[in-house]
């Protein structure tokens, strides 16, 4: 039994005529429709219609069957409407700590362009987000650009300066800005290389240009544990400036004079994947407001 058999049955029952249903509602040949109805009756093992000279009349089994079929078809039509009218689902990856900065803006732009949308968020390090994007587990990622991933497009939207984070009572916190040499000899808390390879890379280059390396005394797994270690050891850490809005009140941030290169933030997506979601992502990326003064 196929769905078309049910729709044919309802059409004939409503019209009271095989020829009328074939001509006005189903736009098919009468002999073909008659065969379809016979196939349905044969499968059910009952006669659904009493064939007469001037049309057809439902039998008692036919009347019982009609009520159930109408319910089935209505439920199916309702299900189709729900699917067709459901908000677009967008899977977004974000570097931890940036959720409150980028998610409201993304939601606003997506809704302006496509109406109501559902957003599913994954927070993970940039390298993990890029891999998830390549594997098809994300539709876009707010991540650091990677020149090695030529199959992805990175649309730059912002950059973050690397600054010093330390306790407000730390001697270095009394200065308005710090230099590389100011940091040498103090307890340094680094973020794990696997978690933040782009951050560690820029810091290493910054030290190499000065003929020195900042050797971490402690290594933290994320922003929260970095803050905890700063408070526990009275050390300092180097992190993107957006972490200032996440730090405890007992900590301070100080800019670096001639610090490392700022970390670029981009919207990453798969430009060659044709889909309504990817089209929306590309439009949002192009519409994203840039701070030209930074």
CATH 1.10.10.10 region(s) of the chain? Answer: 3-85
Question: Mean pLDDT over all residues of the chain?
Answer: 90
Give ranges for CATH 3.40.190.10 in the chain: 88-159+264-287
Confidence at residue 209, expressed as pLDDT on a 0 to 100 scale: 87
Given this model, what pLDDT does residue 146 score?
A: 85
Q: How confident is the model at residue 86 (pLDDT cuts 50, 70, 90)?
A: low
pLDDT tens across 229-286, in order? Answer: 999 999 999 999 999 989 999 999 999 998 999 999 999 999 888 888 989 999 999 9
In the structure, what pLDDT confidence band is assigned to residue 291 with cuts at 50, 70 and 90? Answer: low
Q: Tell me which CATH homologous superfamily contains domain 88-159+264-287.
A: Periplasmic binding protein-like II (3.40.190.10)
pLDDT for 195:
86
pLDDT band for 293, please (50, 70, 90 cuts): very low
**Would you place residue 294 in the very low, low, confident or very high pLDDT band (cuts 50, 70, 90)?**
very low
CATH architecture of 3-85: Orthogonal Bundle (1.10)
Question: What does the block give as tokens for 111?
Answer: 């809704």
Residue 251 confidence (pLDDT): 97
Strands (DSSP E) contained in 61-152 are: 88-94, 117-123, 140-143
Q: What is the pTM of this model?
A: 0.69
Give 290's pLDDT tier (boundaries 50, 70, 90): confident
Q: 162-261 adopts what CATH topology?
A: D-Maltodextrin-Binding Protein; domain 2 (3.40.190)
Q: Which two tokens stand for residue 63?
A: 């009347």
pLDDT-derived band of residue 82, with 50, 70 and 90 as boundaries? low
Q: Are 11 and 36 a contacting pair, CB within 8 Å?
A: no
Higher pLDDT, 23 or 93: 93
Question: Where in the sequence of the chain do the CATH 3.40.190.290 domains occur?
Answer: 162-261
pLDDT of residue 283: 93
Res 166: pLDDT: 97
Q: Which residues pair with 265 in a beta bridge?
A: 158
In this structure, are residues 179 and 277 in contact, taking their beta carbons and an 8 Å threshold? no
| Residue position matching structure tokens 């900590």 | 251
pLDDT at res. 61 = 92
**pLDDT for 30-62, tens place per residue?**
889 899 899 899 999 999 999 888 888 999 998
* Span 144-162, average pLDDT: 90
Answer yes or no: is pLDDT of 220 > 90. Answer: yes
Token output for 175: 């200065």
For position 235, what pLDDT does the model report?
A: 96
Model pLDDT, residue 275: 86
Q: What secondary structure does DSSP assign to 47-63, as a single string?
A: --EEEETTEEEE-HHHH
Q: List the beta bridge partners of residue 117.
A: 88
């Amino acid at each position: 039994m196929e769905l078309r058999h049910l729709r044919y049955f309802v059409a004939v029952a409503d019209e009271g005529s095989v020829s009328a249903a074939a001509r006005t509602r189903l736009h098919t040949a009468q002999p073909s429709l008659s065969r379809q109805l016979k196939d349905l009756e044969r499968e059910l093992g009952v006669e659904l219609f009493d064939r007469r000279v001037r049309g057809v009349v439902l039998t008692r089994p036919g009347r019982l069957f009609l009520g159930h079929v109408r319910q089935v078809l209505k439920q199916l039509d309702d299900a189709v409407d729900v699917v067709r009218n459901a908000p677009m689902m967008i899977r977004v990856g974000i570097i931890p700590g940036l959720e409150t900065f980028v998610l409201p803006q993304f939601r606003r732009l997506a809704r302006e362009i496509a109406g109501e949308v559902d957003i599913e968020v994954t927070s993970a390090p940039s390298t993990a987000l890029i891999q998830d994007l390549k594997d098809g587990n994300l539709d876009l990622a707010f991540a650091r650009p990677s020149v090695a991933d030529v199959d992805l497009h990175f649309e730059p939207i912002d950059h973050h300066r690397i600054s010093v984070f330390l306790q407000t009572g730390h001697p270095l916190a009394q200065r308005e800005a710090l230099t590389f040499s100011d940091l040498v000899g103090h307890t340094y808390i680094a973020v794990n290389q696997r978690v933040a390879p782009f951050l560690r890379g820029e810091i290493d280059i910054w030290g190499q240009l000065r003929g020195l390396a900042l050797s971490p005394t402690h290594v933290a797994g994320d922003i929260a544990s970095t803050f905890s270690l700063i408070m526990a050891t009275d050390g300092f850490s180097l992190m993107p400036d957006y972490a200032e809005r996440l730090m405890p009140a007992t900590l301070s941030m100080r800019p670096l004079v001639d610090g490392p290169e700022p970390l670029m933030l981009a919207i990453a997506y798969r430009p060659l994947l044709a889909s309504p979601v990817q089209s929306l992502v590309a439009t949002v990326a192009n519409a994203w407001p840039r701070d030209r003064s930074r």
